[in-house]
Structure 1
Amino acid sequence: MRLAGKCAFVTGGRQGIGRGIVNAFLSEGATVTTCGRGPRPGGLPEDVVWHELNVSDPAAVNIIAEATDILVNNAGVQVEKTVVDTTDADWELVMGVNARGVFNCCRAFVPLMPKGGSIINIGSISGNVADPSMALYNASKAFVHGLTRSIAVDHGPDIRCNAICPGWIETGMLDAGFDLADDPAKAKQDALARHAVRRFGKPDDIAAMAVWLASNEAAFATGQLFVIDGGMTAASPLYPGLF
């Protein structure tokens, strides 16, 4: 029960990584509030508070902001386009949620967080290395990484702030990426060969890191980007698994 007595707010807790973090925090004894754009999802434990919230709206975020020990900025969207194909509406959607949404929540929650608070931003390996046809998504995650460092520097020692940078995790976003390939099945097989652990990640893999970062065990960790990608970005293009 590493999070016993702590209150957590997790954005984007409807499904995928966010839902995995909500469940993991509950199992470690935290009181959890989460949110999403639509109505309360089915199957969410009754003791979890749900807010219908668009994190890109600063006024809406300010209304629900409250004193909390742990803030997880997980809400995110993805558009599979190059720069030249990207529309203004795409910009408003992706940068609004992935970049401004994280900024809005940090700005609203930081003044309310008690000493010893922990902010965990969900970045991506796409903020470090560019995925093809993901121009805005890549850029939005790079923003999250930079903001993470700034918050750690500006608001330490009272608040720690770190980012988790997932690799390819089994969610709807992963499937959408493979759908861009001429042969999605072959692309998936090739991708698996690039992982040292020979599998894609699961939401629970990211949730486990979130629990550690939220706990007192991570008291000396701040301003860091923790890559959780099964060893994919550790390998050179000549990685033996491809041959």
Structure 2
Amino acid sequence: MTTKKTPRIVIVTGTSQGIGQAIAQTFLDNGDIVIGCAFSALEKAPAAQQMLSDYPDRYFYYSVDVTRTEAIQQFVDSAEKLFGRIDVVVSNAGKNVFKGIDCEESDWEHNFSLNLRSHWYLAKCARPALRKSQGTIIIITSNHAFSTMPGCAPYNISKRALLSLVQSLTIEWGPEIRTVGIAPGFIDTLGNQAWFDSHPDAQIARDRTIKKHPVGRIGRPDEVGELCLFLASDKAGFIAGTTIVMDGGRSAIMQDEEDL
């Protein structure tokens, strides 16, 4: 006799597109309930509309500006009220703030508000519910946390700081709450395509990037979703306080051929 699995209540931020959308889809396909959010209003988020249509009883979407702490608190409160608990938080929302180290102060502040503070505050707001469920926090950072390229500040600086956030949440909130990070590299999303499109020839830029990956391709959003699903499971119960690099071997290369 097969015992019916109780669906988990999973919060995922940044679900309107890209990696966040794929993470939400993966948990939904697993039978879980996903409460997602993104900056975009629902009428401007076709992917969210599709998931609402496909999973009317298991997917919920809120438009949230995660640079506003009061908006994060309202979102978490609303999410918990829906089902009375929260089991998993995937803190994914963010964007590339590639302005260079000489960026304006406004760029610096926006970057840290979105790409660092929002993750910390989301965790703080969800902590009471996660303590009750003995839940898991997964923070999505970037391979830029480990090594970066010219012009990618201040984004890479905030992503590096998320490594320490994962560590601190683990050692201060464990064992009740387990925290782990994921650092994706080049993932085939609209955001990365926009970076390719910024070059004179987008296809040449894409091909050049692919050649820098030992696996011979760039990543897929669903692969990040599958890793989240594993890390949120009991099978990953001994993984905590660390950030897993998911970059197709890109960071294993000491230098590129054109630099030789």
Give yes or no for TM over 0.5.
Answer: yes
Matched, 1:159 2:166: no
- Following superposition, the deviation at residue 43 of structure 1 comes to 1.2
Alignment match, 1:169: 187
Q: How does 1:116-135 map to 2 (within 5 A)?
A: 116-135=134-153
Aligned counterparts of 2:94 and 2:34: Cα–Cα separation in 1: 19
Among residues 105, 112, 136, which one is paired with 1:88 in the alignment? Answer: 105
Give the structure 2 partner of residue 188 of structure 1: 206
Greater Cα shift, 110-119 or 30-39:
110-119
Q: Which position in structure 1 is the counterpart of 2:51?
A: 44
1:175, 1:153 → 2: CA distance? 37
Which one of the candidate residues 33, 36, 43 is aligned to 2:35?
33
The correspondence for 1:11, drawn from 9, 13, 16, is 13
Cα deviation, residue 116, structure 1: 2.5
Is 1:74 matched up with 2:92?
A: yes
1:114-147 deviation line (CA, Å, top 9, x unaligned): 2420100001100110132110110111111110
Structure 2: runs of 5+ lacking an equivalent: none
Are the aligned partners of 1:121 and 1:148 in contact in 2 as well (CA < 8 Å)?
yes
Following superposition, the deviation at residue 80 of structure 1 comes to: 2.2
How far did residue 38 of structure 1 move?
2.1
**Given residue 94 of structure 2, which amino acid in structure 1 is its aligned partner?**
G
1:207 aligns with 2:214: no
Distance of 1:188 and 1:36 partners within structure 2: 27
* Distance of 1:111 and 1:166 partners within structure 2: 28
* Deviation for aligned residue 1:24: 0.3
Aligned residues: 241
**Deviation of 1:44 (Å):** 2.3
Deviations 1:182-203 (CA, angstroms, capped at 9, x unpaired): 6543332221111111111010
Partner amino acid for 2:62?
A: H
Residues 3/193 of structure 1: CA separation in 2 closer, same or farther (3 Å cut): farther
More helix per residue: 1 or 2?
Answer: 2
Q: TM-score, normalised by structure 2?
A: 0.86
2:242 corresponds to which residue?
A: 224
TM superposition shift of 1:176: 3.2
Gaps of 5+ in 1: none
TM-score (norm 1): 0.91
Distance in 2 of aligned mates of 1:73 and 1:236: 30
Contact 1:127 1:141 in 2 (8 A): yes
Q: What's the RMSD between the two structures over aligned residues?
A: 2.3
- The offset of 1:179, in angstroms, is 4.3
Counterparts of 2:171 and 2:98, CA distance in 1: 33
Which deviates more from structure 2 when the two are superposed, residues 87-96 or residues 218-227? 87-96
Conservation of the 8 A alpha-carbon contact between 2:7 and 2:32: yes
